[in-house]
Amino acid sequence: MTETADDLSAPLGQDKPRRKRRLRLPFTAMQLLAVLLLLFLVTFASFAIFNKDPLGGEPMTRIAIREPKATDEKPVASGHGPESKQESKHETKEAPKQAGPGEQKTVTMIDGSTGARHDVVIGAGEATDKGGAASAPPPGMAGIDPKLLEKSRYGMIPVVAGDMKPFNVYAADADRAKAAKMPVVAVVIGGLGVGAAKTTDAIMKLPPAVTLAFTPYGSDPGKLAERARAQRHEIFLQIPMEPYDFPDNDPGPQTLLTSLSTDQNMDRLYWHLSRMQGYAGLTNFMGARFIATEPAMQPIIREAAKRGLGFFDDGSSPRSVAPLAAANQAMPFGKGDIAIDVVPTPTEIDRALNKLEATARERGIAVGTASALPVSIERIGAWTKTLGDRGILLVPLTTAMLKSKSS
């Protein structure tokens, strides 16, 4: 009735006012929007709750784990030069898993200066679980004295046996009487063990008196270290340590950190020590912050001395506490004087080698460090052939360390 009355009272010729219609979404669309919003909130809350970082900023490396094959021995190249050039970090690959015995891990490392990516295959370092340990040296390691090894939960690590110390047993042969009477230089090539080609070049193209330092990474660093010793090179083990700009620049898995407790760093040290055998001493791999932090560095030096090892400071950190810490332990110690291939060109490398000679004449001892770049190996190899003619003796690092200690 009301609608009829309105129609009768409306003026002739005018339409009835139309009601405004509201645009309404179908009920099913509103349900869909509600479900999507709920899923977003659940996802965000889950990320906020479960994304925790118990190590206070240490990067988590995600790894791809694969079963090794009998013919699969291909290490992947990854160059390492002086600390400014070997800075790197990890990117995620797949969901993280713990590698079991016999398994290998592939880690993508990104060079901090060039952005170049390198896939590094890391062989299983843990021979057993936490309840057990390896009971014998790795098979085929010629010249390794089993008396100088003891069990850890990761494998076999160096130890003193009576009067026998790894530093003395695994030092390369040298004419130390002659070295005591004339200027000597030692050259340490670092970053080896990752990349079979560059490691093999260093082993085969450089004279035995050149000392080779191996990182704990690579699919089988022990096999390459054994080959180096077979060519009469002495070897040192590089221990990854925290640089000042960590984690933007990350030396690699199991890096020793100033933020960790002494027990945690010692556990990581044992992992590194078990990766190969037959080394005379340890040296830092990067680590400008760690090696300058006394509470962190002192226990590492003390442990190295206890196990009969020497320690070589590559000289990259002017604030290093390693010299004083080593002196307190009365252990063999050496420090790098000149980084030979900071600028990796033939001209600059030759200039650095000339400076190394001058330092040796002035002080009686000089130690140079370099990476296994092809240009570095070529120029150092050529330089060593005529070094004796200029009245300077090329010696292994251990000989230079002993001369430094006695002088």
Residues 125 and 123: their CA atoms lie apart, in Å, by 6
What tens-digit pLDDT sequence spans the chain (407 residues)? 444 445 545 555 555 555 555 555 455 666 777 777 777 776 666 655 555 544 544 444 444 444 444 434 333 333 344 344 443 333 333 333 434 434 455 555 544 444 455 455 555 443 333 333 334 444 445 689 999 999 999 999 999 999 999 999 999 999 999 999 999 999 999 999 988 999 999 999 999 999 999 999 988 899 999 999 999 999 999 999 999 999 999 999 999 999 999 999 999 999 999 999 999 999 999 999 999 999 999 999 999 999 999 999 999 999 999 999 999 999 999 999 999 999 999 999 999 999 999 999 999 999 999 999 999 999 999 999 999 999 999 999 999 999 987 76
Reported as type and span, the H/E element at residue 111 is strand 104-111
CB 108 within 8 A of CB 118: yes
Distances from the Cα of 94 to the Cαs of 21, 46, 60, 333, 398, in angstroms?
A: 54, 20, 12, 42, 42
> What is residue 65's three-state secondary structure?
strand
Distances from the Cα of 258 to the Cαs of 88, 292, 393, in angstroms?
A: 18, 10, 39
What per-residue confidence (pLDDT) applies to 404?
A: 86
Domain ranges of the chain: 64-123, 146-406
Residues 242 and 249: their CA atoms lie apart, in Å, by 9
The residues that bridge with 367 in the sheet, in sequence order, are 186
What per-residue confidence (pLDDT) applies to 331?
A: 97
Crossing angle of helices 294-306/322-329, nearest 10°?
A: 40
The residues that bridge with 155 in the sheet, in sequence order, are 152
What per-residue confidence (pLDDT) applies to 405?
A: 79
Crossing angle of helices 294-306/262-273, nearest 10°?
A: 40
Residues 186 and 192: their CA atoms lie apart, in Å, by 17
What per-residue confidence (pLDDT) applies to 406?
A: 73
> What is residue 123's three-state secondary structure?
strand
CB 313 within 8 A of CB 367: no
CA 89 to chain centre: 10
What per-residue confidence (pLDDT) applies to 126?
A: 37
Is this prediction's pTM over 0.75?
Answer: no
CA 83 to chain centre: 11
Residues 393 and 361: their CA atoms lie apart, in Å, by 11
Reported as type and span, the H/E element at residue 152 is strand 149-152
The first and second tokens of residue 57, run together, are 């900023």
What per-residue confidence (pLDDT) applies to 106?
A: 56
φ/ψ of 120, rounded to 5, equals: -105, 120
Task: Give me the amino acid identity at 281.
Answer: G
CATH number attached to the domain at 146-406: 3.20.20.370
Task: Give me the residue label for tokens 């020590």.
Answer: 273
Pairing of strands 117-123, 149-152: unpaired
The residues that bridge with 331 in the sheet, in sequence order, are none
Residue 268 CB neighbours (<10 A): 20
> What is residue 192's three-state secondary structure?
strand
The string over 160-197, giving b where at least 16 C-beta atoms fall within 10 Å of a residue's C-beta and e elsewhere, is: bbeeebbbebbbbebebeebeeebbbbbbbbbbbbbbe
DSSP assigned state of 187: E
DSSP assigned state of 330: T
Residues 97 and 119: their CA atoms lie apart, in Å, by 17
